[in-house]
């Protein structure tokens, strides 16, 4: 989800007649009828946010969440927020796979439950082993 984010493929059509102006003083205007999209890869592949960003690391988020919990039991707002933003359904400006803000994906809670049920079913009904490399 982090490496091939759906969000970048979703465009938003500019509706206002005056277009959409860059919010931070940059000098561009997207005219009415054009499409804007988000460059999620810029965040998702940033090595300052995700060390060694293209490597598959199954416990990348779980490890950090565990560390955040151990670092003082989430006693401060910062620690609490750090732990919370690592949840499977959490969205943030640094993790955009489900979008972020008002229109963030509402189906992500269903996806979380389904993936957990799938995982539980596999563990209960199958023996799993590594493929020979």
Q: Which residues bind ligand HEM (CB under 6 A)?
A: 1, 6-7, 10, 97-99, 103-107, 110-111
Concatenating the DSSP letter of every residue in 71-90 gives: TTTT-SHHHHHHHHTTSTT-
Pick between residue 69 and residue 111 the one whose CB is nearest to ligand HEM: 111
Pick between residue 58 and residue 131 the one whose CB is nearest to ligand HEM: 58
Pick between residue 8 and residue 74 the one whose CB is nearest to ligand HEM: 8
Taking the complex as a whole, the smallest distance from the CB of residue 77 to ligand HEM amounts, in Å, to 25
121's tokens: 């079913």
Residue 102's closest CA among 15, 12, 26?
Answer: 12
């Amino acid at each position: 989800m982090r490496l091939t984010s759906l969000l970048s493929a979703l465009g938003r059509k500019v509706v206002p007649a005056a277009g959409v102006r860059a919010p931070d003083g940059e000098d561009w205007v997207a005219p009415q009828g054009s499409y804007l999209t988000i460059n999620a890869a810029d965040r998702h592949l940033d090595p300052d946010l995700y060390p060694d960003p293209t490597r598959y690391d199954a416990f990348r988020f779980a490890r950090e969440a565990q560390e955040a919990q151990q670092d003082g039991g989430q006693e401060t707002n910062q620690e609490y927020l750090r732990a919370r933003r690592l949840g499977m359904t959490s969205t943030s400006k640094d993790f955009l796979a489900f979008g972020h803000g008002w229109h963030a994906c509402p189906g992500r809670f269903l996806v979380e439950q389904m993936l957990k049920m799938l995982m539980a079913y596999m563990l209960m009904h199958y023996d799993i082993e590594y493929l020979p490399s």
